[in-house]
A and B are shown apart, each in its own frame.
Chain A
Amino acid sequence: MKCEICSKKAMNEYCKLHERAKENIIGKYNLWKTALNISWKEYLNEITKNPYTGSSAKELAEHLKQGEQEH
């Protein structure tokens, strides 16, 4: 199976790095929600433009945003 983002070897939908980024993104949402009272979509937008967000986390956030739009 290949990672949906970078086409590297993956166990499920993402490679190791993007899987870890996904865990971080999901894990941090509650903190953002408490701090700023924002929706999931707004949160993804915020972390995409944040300079401290790591490159893999940004790629995943973009991918999730696209997924949301398609739905």
Chain B
Amino acid sequence: MEKHTLIIAEKPSAAQRLAEALDHEGKPEEIREKGVPYFVAHCRGKRLVVAPALGHLYTVVQTQGRRNYYPVFDFKWAPRHVAERGAKRIRIWTELLSKLAQDADHFIGACDYDLEGSLIGYCILKYVCGNKEATARRMKFSTLMKSELEKSYQKLLPRLDFALIEAGKTRHEVDWLYGMNLSRALTLAAERWSGRYATLSTGRVQGPTLRFLARRESAIRCFVPTPYWGIKATFEKYGCAYEAKYARQKIEKRIEADTVVKKCRGKIGEIEKIGVKNLRQKPPIPFDLGKLQTEAYRLFRYKPRRTARVAERLYLKTLISYPRTSSQRLPSIINYRRILKGLSKKLVYGRLASELLKKEKLKPMEGKKEDSSHPAVYPTGNLPARALSESEKKIWDLVVRRFMAVFGESAIVQSTRVCIGVNGYHFYLRGRRVMKEGWMHFYIPYTRTEELLLPSLKEGEKIKLTNITRKDKFTKPPPRYNPSTLLNKMEDEGIGTKTTRADIIETLYNRGYIADERVRATDLGITVSETLQEHCPEVVSVKLTRELEEKMEFVKSGNEKRENVLIDTVTQLRPLLEEFKRKEETIGRTLSDAIRNAQVQERVIGSCSSCSSGQLIILHSRKTGKRFIGCSNYFKGLCRASFPLPQRGTAKPLGRDCKSCRWPLMQIRMRGKRTWRLCFNPECSSKEEGRKRVEMRNL
């Protein structure tokens, strides 16, 4: 049988794109074995088999032994189906790849060109295909466009990018050493004390992230506001009212504020000075993944992980370039004019793209960050072949408009400050006006251009003060992080990578360490963080994580060896874990208490309206064992408030109120059924509506 070339792609949709691009007719044959797809294409008389991975097929595991001890420093790379319970499907995948490798004479790695992609390809070539990593070649591309894929196939890199692979391996192994040992230490400490198992986790990035969330939470919880006062004055000119602020933003004594109001009330103001400044606002820089996630959160309230997923789908649909990039640069090699010409075919972008195409020279505004693997996120110029989902439409539009905006000219915004004197006191009236739209024109509706227009005024002119009031204010606690600001904080602190940050935040939610969109560290989160801070502060220190990140960057650039980083990691971890073990009893007691409190808190629904002193909580009948909602005073015989609950599935408070009766809602989750919301108020009007609907249906 004729031997083929085996091309390894990162996922099925990417494999399909690759096969379509390389097949001389653009119609590769799709074959499925046990549900696993692969594609057969023909290119210049050569048979190409494009087979997909399913993300990582291999992972780091403990070499041997049980899971009930630490420290563990022996590890190996093993298929995920061996290491993880829920990854049985991986076995079929690896078996198929192994079979396809037997009939192949050439091997090409075509996973995404970054740390993770390179590692995925390497593991398959080494472990599944039988040590083919040394002879395999590499395709490098930033978009899945036919032209780029063809070019990449013609100009194959002679070998895999081993520096990236080494860096990828180091990251996985270091993260495993930290995460597995520390998580196991926490979990076992709690389990040995309480006799009950509950998963607790921490890690090299998770620890410091939780630490600054816990610190912020404790600052908010302990916050005591201080009063201060402001003064709002309303002036009238040409029949219109204009609001001005007192020169001092903060007045610390109420008596002083009252004096200003008293002395100015009923007086006429005089314009003492008019200051006008023209501010030049440079165009925005192109999106790296972090900036795209931040902007998508600001505009659409999409959480970072959702944005990353949507961007990934747009990449697979060849509408945008590879999104997991930290570059803020757009090299001219991507051909700006070709992209704009492509975009101009869409009605909404036609006029804007044409305006840019008229320019003699297109030079994008660029940021400082570079990524050797990929440029910043940009639209490919392709238009959607099929209708996009609402979120895809929004993210694509955002990327397109941002791309056009970076070629725009600076905007000029005029800022005016009018100083008005009233009886010796000064007030400021501020105006803002866009004089030249520049790049903003391309970025509408995403620009923030709130204009504040002022009437024409002259120095020395009189102006009527129609109203003056004292504003009672208080200092506010530091704001809570939201998923976007948290992502920025992690980026600023230099912890995690563009691909892992969103997942780390998600893990913190899943562990119950944080809750809500305006991120609130839970009691459990605070306790875990404080315990780590008290007993092994190095683990939650940003410094250690940042140093490790730097070392891994050195591995990536070939200036450091993976082995050295691993030795350093073990040297740091060993004494930490020994110390942890010595204090295991104390730590276990604290953590067990926190877990128990968190479990109780999970059952609390709200305050009891019957007795006003207790709390409504999920209880279990002492006779029948059946669950119900009752007052915390129920078993004391002080309050008889109780409400029935479904006996099957899991029930937990949803954290939202019923729209009809304002009682708290419950979330009921049953296996194989859709999750539903329950208002447990028997008198709720929504129940009446439901009843009527059922009656109507029966009729």
Please give the residue numbers on chain A whose beta carbons come within 8 Å of chain B beta carbons, in ascending order.
8-9, 16-17, 20-21, 24-25, 27-28, 31-32, 34-36, 47, 50, 52-57
Contacts and interface: CB of A to CB of B under 8 A. Distances in A.
B300 interface: no
Contacts of A34: 252-253
Contacts of A17: 218, 221-222, 526
Interface in B221-259: 221-228, 252-254
Nearest to A27: B224
Contacts of A32: 226-227
Given A17-B218, A31-B252, A52-B474, A36 B227 contact: yes
Nearest to A50: B225
A15 to B, nearest CB: 10
Interface of B: 218-228, 252-254, 474-477, 526, 530, 590, 593
B571 to A, nearest CB: 31
Contact of B226 (A35, A55, A56): A35
20 contacts: A9-B590, A17-B218, A20-B222, A21-B224, A27-B224, A28-B226, A31-B227, A31-B252, A35-B227, A35-B252, A35-B254, A36-B227, A52-B477, A53-B223, A54-B221, A54-B477, A55-B221, A56-B218, A57-B221, A57-B224
- Closest 3 A/B residue pairs (Cβ): A54-B223, A52-B225, A56-B221
Contacts of A20: 218, 222
- Interface on chain A toward B: helix, strand, loop, or mixed SS? helix
B590 A54 contact: no
A8 B589 CA distance: 11
B220 A54 contact: yes
Nearest to A15: B530
Nearest to A16: B530
A57 B221 CA distance: 7
Contacts of B226: 28, 31-32, 35
Given A50-B474, A52-B477, A54-B477, 8 more contacts: A16-B530, A25-B224, A27-B224, A47-B224, A52-B474, A54-B223, A55-B221, A57-B223
B221 A21 contact: yes
Contacts of B526: 17
B190 to A, nearest CB: 15
Nearest to B586: A9
Contact of B223 (A9, A16, A24): A24
B225 A56 contact: no
